[in-house]
């Protein structure tokens, strides 16, 4: 297993109380990396005080 998969395997055992197969750990590591990288790249636009609730404010105040 690669380094990420080993970490995923350890974390999953702690969080879930059941072991993952090496293949599944590698799949999960790749899946998580893809999502984390996508959010990290997109998050370049975030400002210090951007709050999650700003989304609903934007929608709610959209013009008719």
Contact residues toward another protein (CB under 8 A) are 8, 11-12, 15-18, 20, 24, 28, 31-32, 34-36, 38-43, 45-46, 50-52, 54-60, 62-64
Indicate the residue among 3 and 64 with the shorter CB distance to another protein.
64
Instruction: Please report how close the Cβ of residue 37 comes to another protein at its closest, in angstroms.
Output: 9
What's the rounded Cα separation, in Å, for the pair 58 and 29? 35
Residue 11 has which token pair? 């974390």
Integer angstrom CA distances of residue 62 from 50, 55, 57: 18, 11, 9
Tokens 């929608």, residue located: 59
CB of 51 to another protein, least distance (A): 7
């Amino acid at each position: 297993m690669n380094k990420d998969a080993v970490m995923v395997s350890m974390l999953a055992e702690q969080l879930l109380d059941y072991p993952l197969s090496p293949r599944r750990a590698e799949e999960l590591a790749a899946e998580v990396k893809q999502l984390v990288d996508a959010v990290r790249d997109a998050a370049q636009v975030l400002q210090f005080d951007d709050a999650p609730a700003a989304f609903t404010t934007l929608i709610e105040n959209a013009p008719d």
